Chains A and B, each alone.
Chain A
Amino acid sequence: MSTIIQLAVGEPSGQRADGPALVSIADAGAIAAVAEEVGVAAIRLVDGSASGRTLDPTVVGAYLAGLHGGVGYVAEVPTTCNAPYNAARRVLSLDRATGGRIGVALRAGEGDEVSQATGPEPGATDPTRRWTEYARVLTRLWESFPREALIGDQKAGIVAEDALIKPIDHEGSFYRVAGPLDGPSSVQGRPVVVADLHALGALDATAVAESADVVVVDRERAAGADAALTEALWHVGRSREDVALLGRVEVALDDPAAAAALGDELRAWADEHRLNGFELVPTGGTEAVVTALRTLAPRLADVGAVSSPPTLRAALGLREVAAVLT
């Protein structure tokens, strides 16, 4: 079982919120240290929260990884206002800087001003179709400059074997992107793509089957998620082992002693619905997050699990390096 913990970084209001509360950037650093110590797979940095505005997750992820590099970070990035070439570049830069510990939770939304000016189909607006196309562009761009191409042969005067670096020449309904990216792929092949299947969200298993590495379902959507995902993956030539299915749960741990019972309950829930792990959403601020990390997260880890997985993919129980796309 792998665990991701959700964090909203911003300016705490001081009022006690019912749901996840904002934590300050300084507290986020302390939380990252604990996350690193207890060995969760990643911290998911949310973009926007019911409690108020959050700091840009890619900025926060880069900053926290510069302080505590032993844990993964998943940055929420919406399609809205982000041209895919820029998002791909930013996320891959982060992944390379962290030695392959980055994921992106791509959120379905609208377009960006730059891409809209030249969109192949100006009338295309469906967020689900946009997500699918956007994720395809990201994953293709992330492998457009393979690691092996960077050779740095000083004697021969060759930096990169440019024949191996290829444009993606994507032309879809929403985007036209030539590529390639300007830097090599990361040690985990590609950053991890996280897709949310909310009860009211735009995405379903079919929409995300081609590109998602992690699928997160809310508690009420867990039943049947495994079967739907398995089938959707089969249709695109992938298998269920290629994707980690995580169940998202809000946790309120006022009493640390309650962690044992909650841990047992969550594991049973995961077994019942064939989930591979959890995305924990602690309700409350810094203290609640630290309590969840210290008391609950260790109970969700498998006995004998690898203590320091080399990449985020490995920490999520996926192949350590992504298979190359065809």
Chain B
Amino acid sequence: MSRRLHINVNILNAGVFGGSWRFPDTDGTASYRIEHYTSIAKKAEEAKLDAVFLADGPSLDPSVRHRTGNNLEPTTVLARIAAQTERIGLIGTLSSSYNDPIELARRLGDLDYVSGGRFGWNVVTTAGPVAARNFGRTGELDHALRYRRAAEFTTRVVAGWARRTEFASPQGRPVVVQAGGSSDGRRLASRVGEVIFSADQDLDHARAFRTEIRNGAVTFGRRPEEVVILPGLSTVVGSTEAEARARRELLDQILPDAYARNRLAGQLGISLDGLSDDEPIPAGLLVDPDEAGGSQTFYRVVKAIIDREKPTLGQLLKKLSGGGGHRIVVGTPEQIADDIETWFRAGAADGFNVMPDVLPSGFDDFADHVIPELQRRGLFRTEYEGTTLRDHLGLGLPAVPDEAYERRPLDAVR
């Protein structure tokens, strides 16, 4: 069979754009109710997507005054979706820094069993001091230590799943998803990641990233086909190009300005106070990405835009639109399908983690119009061929990765 796309929908509360919750005819607080998530998951299953994806962090985003945040714990949401669907894969984000490995291995393994082998665990190390303070710390853990713990934690959890004799998973064990693009994150991806959720603006860079991860996997004794790379893709769909552009314009207009500035300042680790929209970003204040704290992935993406395009603050805010740095495509279903096909055929992606502009309307448009276009081109399935997430992703059950006990016992978050 020819190579096929893999497509997840990232149910990022009200949508990836900062103003999504204010979009006309959108219920502004729908993302605080469970039906928002279950109904999008049912729609995703009708569209034969690989999985729904839930981002998460154990904290309240301080920007809650101006934008909706993730607000329901993923394992409870996914267990409910499992009860109300049959095939769609279920990927949830859970922190390796702020969970106990024994409890997490058991809970996630049980969710996998209850869902009939549809679960995938997106391992994140959880950046930032806000989450740290909910677990007894005063500030975030050092980046390298976070990733060293993540490697140990993840390999230990996977080994635990592999040893299970009760509640055996129909897919062998849950799929490990990894989303960090820093040097430490890429090493973790090569070691244990089976699906990589990446962030890339540029096709050549994305192709190099995919090659690096696949080659890295080989150095850990894995086969390159055991890794599925899905960049994030923010979509703005219109029935005509003009309609799509108008939708994008409107999303800029309704983006709460205070939110956009605060988010960018947080990502860059510098103050933007006193900087007007028509002034350039003071690039001299920005450190090398490997030196940055917080999320290096998004720092790297945004810094690259600044270095390349030298935008004013206003231009940069508009380009990101409160979305953080994932690539945005704006156009008709055919144009978006063209873009997806180009990246796929160029070897820059195995598919995409789709982040609709506004939920649910942006995903309805994607599922109703872009997916059928991809199916017409023979790039996407028209029926599920299996029942588990591994089946959908074309992943077999590879050998258990070596446990990464560089230090014993497991480094706690001190």
Whether A181 is near chain B, meaning CB under 8 Å from some CB there, is yes
When the two chains form their complex, are residues A113 and B410 in contact, meaning their CB atoms are under 8 A apart?
Answer: yes
Q: Mark A278-292, 1 if CB is under 8 A from B, else 0.
A: 000000000000000
When the two chains form their complex, are residues B83 and A63 in contact, meaning their CB atoms are under 8 A apart?
Answer: yes
When the two chains form their complex, are residues A85 and B64 in contact, meaning their CB atoms are under 8 A apart?
Answer: no
Binds B, one of A93-101, A229-237, A293-301: A93-101
When the two chains form their complex, are residues B29 and A55 in contact, meaning their CB atoms are under 8 A apart?
Answer: no
Closest beta carbon of chain A to B137's beta carbon, Å? 6
When the two chains form their complex, are residues B29 and A64 in contact, meaning their CB atoms are under 8 A apart?
Answer: no
Check A55/B80 contact, CB under 8 A, given A81-B100, A154-B28, A176-B136.
no
Q: Which of A251-293 contact B (CB under 8 A)?
A: none
| Residue among A89, A157, A158, A183 with the highest chain B CB neighbour number at 10 A | A157
Q: A154 contacts which chain B residues (CB < 8 A)?
A: 21-22, 26, 28
Binds A, one of B66-74, B227-235, B300-308: B66-74
Q: B103 contacts which chain A residues (CB < 8 A)?
A: 81-82, 112
Q: Which of B32, B75, B256 contacts A62 (CB 8 A)?
A: B75
Q: Which of B107-163 contact A (CB under 8 A)?
A: 107, 110-111, 113-114, 133-137
Closest beta carbon of chain B to A54's beta carbon, Å? 9
Q: Mark A166-189, 1 if CB is under 8 A from B, else 0.
A: 000000000111111111100000
Q: B114 contacts which chain A residues (CB < 8 A)?
A: 25, 55, 59-60, 63
Binds B, one of A116-124, A196-204, A212-220, A313-321: A116-124
Whether A162 is near chain B, meaning CB under 8 Å from some CB there, is yes
Q: Which of B293-326 contact A (CB under 8 A)?
A: none
Whether A221 is near chain B, meaning CB under 8 Å from some CB there, is no
When the two chains form their complex, are residues A162 and B65 in contact, meaning their CB atoms are under 8 A apart?
Answer: yes
Cα distance, A159 to B84, chains bound together (Å)? 29
When the two chains form their complex, are residues A93 and B60 in contact, meaning their CB atoms are under 8 A apart?
Answer: no
Check A93/B100 contact, CB under 8 A, given A67-B83, A154-B28, A183-B71.
no
Whether A206 is near chain B, meaning CB under 8 Å from some CB there, is no
Whether B382 is near chain A, meaning CB under 8 Å from some CB there, is no
Check A159/B136 contact, CB under 8 A, given A82-B100, A90-B76, A97-B80.
no
Whether A242 is near chain B, meaning CB under 8 Å from some CB there, is no
When the two chains form their complex, are residues A97 and B34 in contact, meaning their CB atoms are under 8 A apart?
Answer: yes
When the two chains form their complex, are residues A160 and B167 in contact, meaning their CB atoms are under 8 A apart?
Answer: no
Cα distance, A62 to B79, chains bound together (Å)? 6
When the two chains form their complex, are residues A182 and B98 in contact, meaning their CB atoms are under 8 A apart?
Answer: no
When the two chains form their complex, are residues A159 and B65 in contact, meaning their CB atoms are under 8 A apart?
Answer: yes
Q: Which of A140-157 contact B (CB under 8 A)?
A: 145, 150, 152-154, 157
Cα distance, A63 to B116, chains bound together (Å)? 12
When the two chains form their complex, are residues A150 and B32 in contact, meaning their CB atoms are under 8 A apart?
Answer: yes
Q: Mark B45-60, 1 if CB is under 8 A from A, else 0.
A: 0000000000000111
When the two chains form their complex, are residues A184 and B32 in contact, meaning their CB atoms are under 8 A apart?
Answer: yes
When the two chains form their complex, are residues B110 and A59 in contact, meaning their CB atoms are under 8 A apart?
Answer: yes
Closest A residue to B60 by CB, please name it. Answer: A182
Whether B412 is near chain A, meaning CB under 8 Å from some CB there, is yes
Cα distance, A208 to B99, chains bound together (Å)? 26
Whether B265 is near chain A, meaning CB under 8 Å from some CB there, is no
Q: Which of B22, B26, B76 contacts A157 (CB 8 A)?
A: B22
Closest beta carbon of chain A to B238's beta carbon, Å? 21
Cα distance, A65 to B70, chains bound together (Å)? 21
Closest A residue to B97 by CB, please name it. Answer: A114
Closest beta carbon of chain A to B384's beta carbon, Å? 20
Cα distance, A56 to B106, chains bound together (Å)? 7
Q: B137 contacts which chain A residues (CB < 8 A)?
A: 118
Cα distance, A112 to B107, chains bound together (Å)? 15
Q: B32 contacts which chain A residues (CB < 8 A)?
A: 96, 150, 183-184
Q: A180 contacts which chain B residues (CB < 8 A)?
A: 60
Q: Which of A42-81 contact B (CB under 8 A)?
A: 52-53, 55-56, 58-60, 62-67, 81
Q: Mark B1-30, 1 if CB is under 8 A from A, else 0.
A: 000000000000000000001100011110
Closest beta carbon of chain B to A205's beta carbon, Å? 29
Whether B77 is near chain A, meaning CB under 8 Å from some CB there, is yes
Whether A86 is near chain B, meaning CB under 8 Å from some CB there, is yes
When the two chains form their complex, are residues A90 and B100 in contact, meaning their CB atoms are under 8 A apart?
Answer: no
When the two chains form their complex, are residues A56 and B107 in contact, meaning their CB atoms are under 8 A apart?
Answer: yes
Q: A93 contacts which chain B residues (CB < 8 A)?
A: 72-73, 76-77
When the two chains form their complex, are residues A65 and B28 in contact, meaning their CB atoms are under 8 A apart?
Answer: no
When the two chains form their complex, are residues A59 and B79 in contact, meaning their CB atoms are under 8 A apart?
Answer: yes
Whether A34 is near chain B, meaning CB under 8 Å from some CB there, is no
Check A65/B80 contact, CB under 8 A, given A113-B412, A154-B21, A162-B65.
yes
Q: Which of A58, A96, A165, A176 contacts B34 (CB 8 A)?
A: A96
6 A-B pairs with least C-beta separation: A66-B83, A118-B136, A62-B79, A117-B412, A152-B28, A183-B71
Residues of chain A at the chain B interface (Cβ within 8 Å): 10-11, 25, 52-53, 55-56, 58-60, 62-67, 81-83, 85-86, 89-90, 93-94, 96-97, 112-120, 145, 150, 152-154, 157-162, 165, 175-184
A-B contact pairs, 23 of them (CB 8 A): A55-B167, A58-B76, A59-B79, A60-B114, A63-B80, A65-B83, A66-B80, A67-B84, A81-B100, A81-B102, A96-B72, A113-B100, A113-B102, A114-B98, A115-B136, A159-B66, A160-B65, A162-B64, A162-B65, A176-B136, A182-B59, A182-B69, A182-B71
Q: Known contacts A113-B412, A154-B26, A161-B65; can you find 7 more A-B pairs with CB under 8 A?
A: A53-B167, A62-B79, A65-B80, A66-B38, A94-B73, A114-B98, A176-B136
